[in-house]
Amino acid sequence: MVKVAAFTLSVRGFFTGGAICAILDQFVAETKIPGKDGPNIFPKKPHRRLSSSGPSPENRISPRKSLGQNFLSDPVLACRIAALAQESPLFPCRIVEIGPGKGILSRSLAAMTDDLWLIERDPRFMESLRAALPEESRVRIIETDALDFDFGSDLSPYIVVSNLPYNISVPLYLKLLGEDFPPVFMVLMFQREVAKRLVAKKGDPDYGHLSVVTTLLARISKKLDLQPGAFHPAPKVQSSVVTVQPARPTEEGTWAAIALSRKLFCYRRKSLARAFRIACPETGKTAGEIFPRADSAFLARKIDDLGPDDFLNLAIQSKDHLPLFFDRMHSEGKELLKT
């Protein structure tokens, strides 16, 4: 037990909230000493139960591959991820967790806020979530698909925290950025390869359209890398946790730049002049005619070599020289983040 307490003392340094530390203290108090008096508290298979009693109702529910369910099973990591919500400049405020599943993150979040919303699509978890987190005025459990949910419907500031199902992670991320009232802050878990694309800068091997969207609409920072053993069932890929602070576009060309980026990155190895001719033949014009301030050297640059500000400048130029094209790109850019 001394070792357990020492370990917990070491991880308490990650957290600033007293409630989070209290959860860790309870974890130590309820844990048996490894060996003769009880099972190993750090088993090789993280999803093994810590006691010999029968499985709880939520642990009898098998994860559904069709829903991309890989549940976080490490309570210390859950506390650490939940604590990242405190980095929001508007914390404390409403916290919305997407896909709480068995509730390991939910328990930590409930200790941090008086206004917790849980958005869960799988009806099998409703009973266990209500048992673990009584639906008082401060906890609201909503059975719905997050892709169909109107997050900013009542205009209250909110933070989103989620171990995102990998099969919908990118569409859901884009939806949140594109909300009329987006979250003020997000703590999101992605497949590591996706996270690399989100945080990539021009010149990085993972740089692309998602990188452009993120730079134009938010500030992002990678916080943690997680191994497959932190989940049940263990996925075949590694995961990363990022924090995202969305910002409403201040430039009128932002949405058009997003749509233009999407079109042109389909031809990322081609020059701007050639990629535009292939991607936007309906204009009947060359890139030089649409973007007259772009010299021949700029038009010869590969799409990979264009930064987010370059796409923004191109979009603004198109408004002056082909306003109908700009208007269409503006509409398409907003739609890209809603579908």
Q: Enumerate the known binding-site residues.
A: 70, 72, 99, 120, 145, 163
97 — phi, psi (to 5°)?
-100, 130
In b/e form, how buried is each residue of 304-322, taking b as 16+ CB within 10 angstroms? eebebebbbbbbbbbbeeb
251 — phi, psi (to 5°)?
-95, 135
SS3 104: helix
192-199 — which CB contacts under 8 Å span 24+ positions?
A: 192/225, 192/237, 192/238, 192/239, 192/240, 193/237, 194/166, 194/169, 194/170, 195/222, 195/239, 195/240, 195/242, 196/240, 198/173, 198/242, 199/242
Residues flagged as binding site for S-adenosyl-L-methionine: 70, 72, 99, 120, 145, 163
CA 12 → CA 20, 56, 241, 260, distances in Å? 8, 27, 19, 46
Q: Between vectors from CA 320 to CA 318 and to CA 324, what angle results, nearest 5°?
A: 65
Q: Which residues contact 223 (CB under 8 A, 6 or more apart)?
A: 84, 187, 240, 241, 242, 243
